Amino acid sequence: MPEEVMEFIKQSGQKVPDIKGMATPVMALGVLLILVSLLGCATAKMKTPCFAIPFGLTTCLFGLILLIIAFVSLAMGTVLD
């Protein structure tokens, strides 16, 4: 974050968020999204099970990851309030 934003957050009395450990999970989800998009394109072009099954599995995995993140953030939101 820019220094001006950090100073404003500190002056307003809010806690400064610690986002240093977020790079690895974001990169992993980015790689998963690229894999899903490539498998989706291959499935649309070739229409074979060898691309459709991994596409379905990775889409399901990505959906489960997003649901877990949603439930964790919902739980953290209720704990912090």
Report the candidate in 52, 33, 34, 32 with the shortest Cα–Cα distance to residue 42. 52
Q: Cα–Cα distance between 52 and 54 in angstroms, integer?
A: 6
By three-state DSSP, how is residue 2 classified?
Answer: coil
pLDDT truncated to tens, each residue of the chain (81 aa)?
678 877 887 788 777 666 666 778 888 889 999 999 999 999 999 999 999 999 999 999 999 999 998 998 888 878 765
